[in-house]
Amino acid sequence: AQTVTQSQPEMSVQEAETVTLSCTYDTSESDYYLFWYKQPPSRQMILVIRQEAYKQQNATENRFSVNFQKAAKSFSLKISDSQLGDAAMYFCAYRSSGFRDDKIIFGKGTRLHILP
């Protein structure tokens, strides 16, 4: 069974600085998807960034980028130029690429605080 581990329950970063959230996962599959979701106090789960395991290039979305290390099964999220609106719970998540198994497996989350 696949698992996702986030070892940082909480993190803080100064506004405009850069922060990296860590995530490791375990799977025996070779093809899969990894995600970072943001959940603000409004509770809406918002997709931040997605990485396909077969792609070696790290995904980037504006100020958000990932460091995907497939052999190490590591998938960290870097937020550059942190803004107050980035404050939220961040979940690392895994999904198999198989048609019949597309449930999402989430980590326990990291609460990110932005200090003004």
Partner 1 sequence: DAGVTQSPTHLIKTRGQQVTLRCSPKSGHDTVSWYQQALGQGPQFIFQYYEEEERQRGNFPDRFSGHQFPNYSSELNVNALLLGDSALYLCASSDRLTYEQYFGPGTRLTVT
Residues that bind partner 1 (CB under 8 A): 4, 37, 42-47, 50, 91, 93, 95, 100-109
Residue 45 vs 63, nearer CB to partner 1? 45
DSSP 30-65: SSEEEEEEEE-TT---EEEEEEETT--SPPEETTEE
Tokens at residue 97, please? 């690429």
Residue 61 vs 101, nearer CB to partner 1? 101
Q: Least Å distance between CB 6 and partner 1?
A: 8
Residue 80 vs 106, nearer CB to partner 1? 106
Question: In 3D, which of 86, 87, 104 has the Cα closest to residue 95?
Answer: 104
